[in-house]
Amino acid sequence: MSQNEPTGIQPDRRRTKIVATLGPASSDAAMIRVLAEAGANVFRLNFSHGSHEDHAARHDAIRDVEAQIGRPIAILADLQGPKLRVGPFANGRIMLQPGQSFRLDLDHALGDEKRVRLPHPEIIEAATVGSHLLLDDGKLRLRVTGRGPTHLDTEVEIGGALSDRKGVNVPEVVLPIPALTEKDRADLDFALSLGVDYVALSFVQRAEDVIEAREIVGDRAWLMVKLEKPQAMAELDAILAHTDAVMVARGDLGVELPPEEVPVAQKRIINAARSLGKPVVVATQMLESMITSPTPTRAEVSDVANAVYDGADAVMLSAESAAGQYAREAVQTMARVLARVERDDDWRAHLHAVHPARPAGTPDAIAGAAWHLARTLPAAAIAVYTQSGKGVLRIARERPLCPVLALTPHDELARRLVLVWGVHAQSVGQEAPVSGIEDVVEQASELARADGIAKPGEQIVITAGLPFAHAGTTNTLRVAPV
């Protein structure tokens, strides 16, 4: 992926990125290339499904495709997290009627119409009279009317069919359950050995969950928290302080919050993440009808568009690309929607009008000056030479309309930056070391010209840190002709 290698497919001019989940419908290298050519920037490995061998094969296929097309591709390993479920029933399923009593307990006996095993003593310990339990993705709702050391007595408020091992959500209680299970720890160790670029942490409730994962991951990958618990929203600022990126995981969040609260939470998370310069992904059911249909609903298209208007760095496909019949079409549709919104004059005006407050300090002042300068000239691109990615994140937070070229000597960092809004990342390799600002100017000009981002004679704005090879020291701003 060095600067001297052919870039193959031209970089997408979209600022908002696409995350595509891999699965049975998209596992081989040929299909992965199809999705990359359709517009996928990041591929998600969902560790809730598949074996380590499956994920290793997909990881290798992604890296093969990356080499073929000549641009970095990011890989996200999404950990399953703790799964809370009821036990099995003697007849496989029961019907719960509104108003009836129903017990959840630690007894290993098969369930019936009166009770079922709840193999999570943490829930029994934490729940109180009046707490609600949501079963089967929120389709059924129980209210706790009594409790003992080994059981919860409940009244059914919303009934329906309940079958073996359906999920349990406890929206009103902070559960004393770690975000990393033993399975997660094994999966995390394996994913890091593969060299994934991001690790997504599920079931985050508090900052301590993130700190624990950070101690394990270190700098081997960037950490992404999935915000899917109301308890996490109460500690949003503390959680964001310890993570590198954020996912608005609207699946479980939509179960545990009232539906009307989810859009509000989404906007709050995006605004908070952007203010910190941390990439944020909006996920779940974005084009869900395209699992079985070649075209989306109008509501789904509006949902994707609204994520762009909100300022998300990326939007994600789940089952649409992992198991759907129209994986390529889903990516293509998402890419068209993103591109259309980004041509909208109102969207552009909003970008110019809304800027998060900048922290005091030279690097953030340089980022703000680069945005103003690129807009005033106007510049064809803002180029950032970076060792750590921090300078790129600061520029992306400003949301410039021109492309942000991220030049780095590290392949791993180039891949991580692929997720970031508006960024075209490229590893410039170790064979052409940078020793001064003139080297940065030369490499940025060559890359901008080679990728069709700038024409000869156009100007680019360049930021870097002096002295070189010191991460986090952005202090230099330069305008140069291509």
Q: Give the catalytic positions in this structure.
A: 44, 85, 226, 284
What number of helices (H) and strands (E) belong to the chain? 17, 21
Distance CA 104, CA 51 (A): 32
Q: Which residues pair with 143 in a beta bridge?
A: 132, 155
How would DSSP label each residue in 240-268?
A: HTT-SEEEEEHHHHHHHS-GGGHHHHHHH
Q: Count of alpha carbons within 13 Å of 410, Cβ hemisphere only?
A: 16
Which amino acid type is present at position 91? N
Which amino acid type is present at position 351? L
In 93-106, which positions are buried (b, 16+ CB within 10 angstroms) versus exposed (e)? Answer: ebebeeeeebbbbe
Tell me how far apart the 2 most distant CA atoms of the chain are, in Å: 78
Distance CA 7, CA 71 (A): 6
Site of tokens 């290339």: 33
Q: Which residues pair with 194 in a beta bridge?
A: none
Distance CA 46, CA 200 (A): 9
E-state strands within 216-363: 222-227, 245-249, 280-283, 314-317
Distance CA 74, CA 341 (A): 24
Q: Starting from the edge strand earliest in sequence, which strands make up the sheet with 140-148, in order?
A: 115-117, 101-105, 151-158, 140-148, 132-135, 168-169
